[in-house]
Structure 1
Amino acid sequence: MKILAAMSGGVDSAVAAARAVEAGHEVVGVHLALSRMPGTLRTGSRGCCTIEDSMDARRVCDQLGIPFYVWDFSERFKEDVVDDFISEYEHGRTPNPCMRCNEKIKFAALLEKAVALGFDAVVTGHYAKVITDAEGNRELHRAATWAKDQSYVLGVLTHEQLRHAWFPLADTPSKDEVRAEAAQRGFSVAKKPDSYDICFIPEGDTREWLEEHITMTQGNIKDTEGNLLGTHRGSQAFTVGQRKGLAIGHPAADGKPRFVLEIRPKTNEVIVGGRDMLEIDEIRGIRETWAGVPIAETADFLAQKPVEGARSADFEVEAQVRAHADPVASTAHLVWVLDDEAETPGALRLETVVRLNEKLRGVAPGQTMVIYQGTRVLGQSTIARAYSLDRADITA
């Protein structure tokens, strides 16, 4: 096969590319340039798309004897990832830019160009597995080692994208083994640290970066009963579950810490309360995508005409709301509801409603919810609302 190896400059993508070469495929390495201003991306071997990362990727390709190219995706990255990140915070949501990057850049823009150039598949260093079922359909599954599993951040991949995706590290027992293999191959990235944080926020201070990109206006901090507790510099810089940075100046009546419970962009208010108020047991997700062919309970429902209030049969899932969080056994269904954000009156939107078997804490709108059945990823959605069924809504 003709393979395009996405080279981040890290050890995982280096070993993945090497395994593709050893398997006898025609491999070409490509590094994605995601910024035309290198100084705006994290340096010190902690990012995933800096100049030094590009140089590391080139060295690996030279050692493997394969062609190497740098593709400029900076404009699409700005529009689809950075601008989306800003917009979500402006609307009081907490986005996951790595999910958007995988969806819009690494497996949409990159794959689209690769297929147009005649490549059969894109190889990356993600720890996840693609399995072909008896009917020839592709499914996304967790990697062999849950400690390194990255199927959560790949939950945005569609059936068509999975047809052209290959993850050679899927069955690798540990990251230590990958590093040992890289060292044996003589790759200088063998001991390179993993990437962390958000690549387009150079200093790692999300709040400071947001204040430079969003017009912040002073507003009120209130408790759940509507009492004024203090002020803030801008509600957009907060996220549900946050404790630091409130600067209220006086303790709660019970002496316990306060946490952000809700962000209200329209009134520029931040609502705070005790830790117990963060516990939720039902999540509603929007903007669904399905990783592979939808299961019967969802496929039959999606084939029907949308009708307000129509809902699918219940199906059992495990829900995961963060990349490194434990999945929670849940019961899910789909439902058509009126879209209160749509410009067209009466427009409907599809929601994935997940009722958790155990409570989670600090789940914020804008986060990504990925649902599984066993090791298989069914799909993902953006969290629109997370709440407790046995607690009245906050009325402050």
Structure 2
Amino acid sequence: MKRVVVGLSGGVDSSVAAYLLKEQGYEVIGLFMKNWHDDSVTISDECPWLEDSNDALLVAEKLGIPFQTVDLSEQYKERIVDYMFNEYKNGRTPNPDVLCNREIKFDVFMKIALSLGADYVATGHYCRKGTLEKDGKEIYQLLAGVDGNKDQSYFLCQLSQEQLAKSLFPIGELTKPQVREIAAQMDLVTAEKKDSQGLCFIGKVRLPEFLQQQLQPKEGIIIEIAADDSIYSLPKPKFELKEDQLEFEAQPLSYTSSMGKIVGKHQGAHYFTIGQRKGLNVGGTKEGLFIIATDVENNIIYTGQGASHPGLFRKVLKIMSHEVHWIREDLRLKTNETMKVMARIRYRQPLQNATLHHTKDGLYVVFDEPQSAITPGQFVSWHLGEELLGSGVIS
């Protein structure tokens, strides 16, 4: 009997994952990760992890599997929270869920599971694992979940072959309604429980308040740039080398305060992100204001009216060499090679046609169509068909 440790989060997905594995004849152990207990940062008045760990315990009892809690709050603070603050401070927008999977669930947690003699670690992610053989070697694939509405492969875009080898995704073949139905038939306490919206395994974190407690507020100005500003119609330079052209096109536009008009004040450019619309508290414009750029050095936010403002759109992004990650190492591009792929720059974004260009300086993703709100610090993932091949941090 193979032993599987399931990350029981106290939600319906991981509960059903544990049930399915038991049905399939595995020896199943439930483990709840406690990733937070720093009360100096008030997250909200609720204590979600207590409720979640109780639900996880009740599910384990119902399924008749051993259960324990592991405290990973120290590693979580070090690897996720500190990293997030640092990124925000430098004007980038991190993705804690992708990081949590890479650093916590499939690294720290997986090592604990393997030390308990586990053959595999299982989670309640909506994605699938495939295997193929190439040159006599087994290669693992990360495939989209069958439920197109819930596919979570994007959140696992930083996993490695070693991590995938030891991973199981029992609910990847199911849709969310099917998962809820199984939980209801089994009379699991989590059957009707709402999906958590908080930071990975911490629960409800109100990000602005959470950040404000760590990053000091600092008043700055909000500037509106007109859609017909001359910066959007500057002639493009001619380039001898494709690389120079890509580098030029991947650069965000540089704005100065003299280009637009002051329309309001804010409490710190580092609290805001490109494409954001809420929280500016500026009224009286014909269309809603969207953030098109943040300048953390000078503490200025640049905005434009409407979702089709030209300042929101770009076709090219760059990933620095050390931040390029291939799940399919065997398909990694060599310098000057290109590959046609589908790509996305955020979770739930429909896949977009794009071409990867590998240069000596890094990897460029060139989209067929301009993309709205390409955000430094976020992850871009690239796919062929149902398979996620790799990802990188947008620079």
Query: Normalising TM by the smaller chain, what interval?
Result: 0.7 to 0.9
Structure 1, 276-285 or 74-83: larger mean CA deviation: 276-285
Picking from 280, 294, 303, the partner of 1:246 is 280
Per the alignment, residue 246 of structure 2 pairs with none
What's the TM-score, normalizing by structure 2?
0.83
Is residue 40–residue 200 contact of structure 1 (8 Å, CA) maintained in 2? Answer: no
Per the alignment, residue 226 of structure 1 pairs with 259
Structure 1, 122-131 or 106-115: larger mean CA deviation: 106-115
Aligned-residue offset at 1:352: 2.3
Per the alignment, residue 124 of structure 1 pairs with 123
Q: Which SS does the other structure have where 1:283 is aligned?
A: strand
Is residue 42–residue 201 contact of structure 1 (8 Å, CA) maintained in 2? Answer: no
Q: Which SS does the other structure have where 2:79 is aligned?
A: helix
What do you get for the CA RMSD once the two structures are aligned?
Answer: 2.2
**For 1:53 and 1:181, how far apart are their aligned partners in 2?**
19
Distance 1:330 1:85, change over 3 A: same
Structure 1, 236-245 or 62-71: larger mean CA deviation: 236-245
Q: Which SS does the other structure have where 2:171 is aligned?
A: coil
- For each residue in 1:310-369, what CA deviation from the matched residue of structure 2 results, as whole angstroms up to 9, or x when unmatched? x331101111111111010100122232xxxxxxxxxxxxx3211111222122111111
Is residue 41–residue 199 contact of structure 1 (8 Å, CA) maintained in 2? Answer: no
Is residue 16–residue 182 contact of structure 2 (8 Å, CA) maintained in 1? Answer: yes
Are 2:381 and 1:380 equivalent residues in the alignment?
A: no
Q: Which SS does the other structure have where 2:70 is aligned?
A: strand
Per the alignment, residue 197 of structure 2 pairs with 196
Are 2:283 and 1:263 equivalent residues in the alignment?
A: no
Matched residue type, 2:358: L
Structure 2: gaps of 5 or more residues = 226-254
**For 2:52 and 2:131, how far apart are their aligned partners in 1?**
33
Structure 1, 242-251 or 68-77: larger mean CA deviation: 242-251
Q: Which SS does the other structure have where 2:4 is aligned?
A: strand
**For 1:193 and 1:203, how far apart are their aligned partners in 2?**
13
Per the alignment, residue 52 of structure 1 pairs with 51
Is residue 325–residue 391 contact of structure 2 (8 Å, CA) maintained in 1? Answer: yes
Matched residue type, 2:149: A
Quick one: percent identity of the two aligned structures?
A: 33
Picking from 347, 355, 365, the partner of 2:376 is 365
Q: Which SS does the other structure have where 1:114 is aligned?
A: helix
- For each residue in 1:110-142, what CA deviation from the matched residue of structure 2 results, as whole angstroms up to 9, or x when unmatched? 112222332111011101111110231111011
**For 1:240 and 1:23, how far apart are their aligned partners in 2?**
46
Is residue 34–residue 69 contact of structure 2 (8 Å, CA) maintained in 1? Answer: yes
- For each residue in 1:195-228, what CA deviation from the matched residue of structure 2 results, as whole angstroms up to 9, or x when unmatched? 1133688765322222111022222333445345
Per the alignment, residue 340 of structure 1 pairs with none
Per the alignment, residue 348 of structure 2 pairs with 324
Per the alignment, residue 288 of structure 1 pairs with 324
Q: Trace 1:12-91 onto structure 2 (pairs within 5 A).
A: 12-37=13-38, 40=42, 50-91=49-90
**For 1:198 and 1:128, how far apart are their aligned partners in 2?**
20
Aligned-residue offset at 1:66: 1.1
- For each residue in 1:88-116, what CA deviation from the matched residue of structure 2 results, as whole angstroms up to 9, or x when unmatched? 11111111111111111011111122223
Aligned-residue offset at 1:77: 0.7
Structure 1: gaps of 5 or more residues = 302-310, 338-350, 385-396
